[in-house]
Amino acid sequence: MLVLRLLNVVAPAYFLCISLVTFVLQIFVFIPSMFRDPSTTPLLSPALLHGALFLFLSANALGNYVLVIQSSPEDLGKDLNLDKGAEVADWLDGSTSPGSVLPGTHFCRLCARVTQRHDHHCFFTGNCIGSRNMRNFIMFCLYTSLACLDSLVAGMAYISSTLSMSFADPLAFLTLLPHSISQFFSGALLSSEMFVILMLYLWLGIGLACAGFCCHQMLLILRGQTRYQVRKGMVVRARPWRENLQEVFGKKWLLGLLIPVLNVESNYRRQKEK
């Protein structure tokens, strides 16, 4: 448990550090290097187009990241109508839930909070993912994956121009790291260039992980399930996939796709209104 609590503090700091390094490289290294092309007009230059795209992706990723943390399950736990004799220990295994809450409600040991429709505990946000912040979490994974892909492409273009190498051969990227390590220790490669090459593989790993996690999460949503329910073997009521999507993304899903907004149409709130 001590290791998990430590990870719950280190992982968000690690993510913010990677985000800051990515932003600095994009703004001060990759984008200025694109202004060297004199054949393009200023309004249609690759630097401006790429800069606008990167800022859009970064703003959505960071905005949804903040909203995932802001939509704390603790606020929901205060509104639950728990019996006077109910103990927190009854929630530890998720087997006991008051009748006024939805199936899958769970007490998290790390957060010490009650989460409606608990999915999992995300260490990179230091928060539990449930009905209040599921949409923002998916948008965070989506835009983080796209931002990493954008940084990967820009970084490859920078390395290709700096080292005068081509990535036309698919094996060129796979052999880039071992070849660069040998050049770095022989003194033929600068430390700044080696750092960018290491970041390329980091962006690739984070981008693929976020994309895979986002796709798997969407599959569970279409089925009307959560990770917690699958892990506990809970049976869920079969519903049309459109209703499952609307429950998570709401009717204004297009607005949430373009800008970071809170998901105020949670099933729990609709249940309270009834």
Question: Do the domain assignments include residue 81?
Answer: no
The residue annotated as part of the active site, out of 108, 122, 141, 210, is 122
Half-sphere exposure of 224 (CA within 13 A, CB side): 14
Mean pLDDT value across residues 239-266:
82
39: confidence class by pLDDT, cuts 50, 70, 90: low
Under 8 Å between Cβ of 123 and 11: yes
27, part of any domain: yes
Name the domain count of the chain: 1
* Residue located via tokens 């990967």: 152
Q: Give the pLDDT confidence of 62-77 residue by residue, as tens digits.
A: 999 999 988 766 544 4
Does residue 165 fall inside a structural domain? yes
Confidence category of residue 181, pLDDT binned at 50, 70, 90:
very high
Mean pLDDT (the chain) is 82
Q: Which domain holds residue 203?
A: 1-36+43-73+118-269
Predicted local distance difference test score (pLDDT) of residue 56: 96
pLDDT band at 96 (very low <50, low <70, confident <90, very high): very low
Helix (H) or strand (E) holding 216: helix 191-223
Look at phi and psi of residue 94 and say left if phi exceeds 0, alpha if psi is from -120 to 50, else beta: left
Question: What is the DSSP secondary structure assignment for residue 4, as one 8-state letter?
Answer: H
108 counts as catalytic: no
pLDDT, tens only, 189-202: 899 999 999 999 99
Q: Is residue 69 part of a domain?
A: yes
Is the pLDDT score of 37 beyond 80?
Answer: no
